[in-house]
Copies of this chain bind each other. A is one copy, B any other.
């Protein structure tokens, strides 16, 4: 409990999210955000590297991926581990929150600057998964391909999952994507 009202970072995130949905990302300025949060502009940039980061901060997927890769038993097949990992991500961050995820997705898609940052975040996830696989004994080329493909499936499956008429478990959608991809790549 400091000299100031607590959770400055959380207040900034909250204010930013509200303003982004109210008036769009491009139309809201950092002073507007800090004004609503009761802070100064300079303080915003002490918590977030730039205006886009406040939207993506707290995205726990890379942390979860790191944890799963480290803690899984060594005898688990990499592909199995990755499939279960996506299912885990689904239950922790998607299942049961489809409308919330959809709204967030729409904000991103509407703003080129946020799409770009989203693509970078996917790359960062690849850069977590790949060394994790290598540490588990996967050779570098396969690790690079598997890490990239896992993030691709996460991305495509999320799109599929959001488009379903009725919500199903994300893990089922991502597993379906894995299988579909495997069969599509198999030589005819």
Contacts and interface: CB of A to CB of B under 8 A. Distances in A.
Interface string A111-137: 000011101101100000000000000
A8 interface: no
A28 interface: no
B180 A142 contact: yes
A185 interface: yes
- The number of times this chain is found in the oligomer is 2
A167 to B, nearest CB: 18
Contact of A181 (B116, B153, B178, B185): B185
Contacts of A119: 116, 119-120, 122-123
Contacts of A122: 119
Contacts of A180: 141-142, 145
Interface string A165-188: 000000000000110111011111
20 contacts: A79-B185, A116-B117, A116-B119, A116-B120, A119-B119, A119-B120, A141-B160, A141-B180, A145-B153, A145-B156, A145-B177, A145-B181, A145-B184, A146-B184, A148-B156, A149-B181, A152-B152, A181-B185, A182-B186, A185-B185
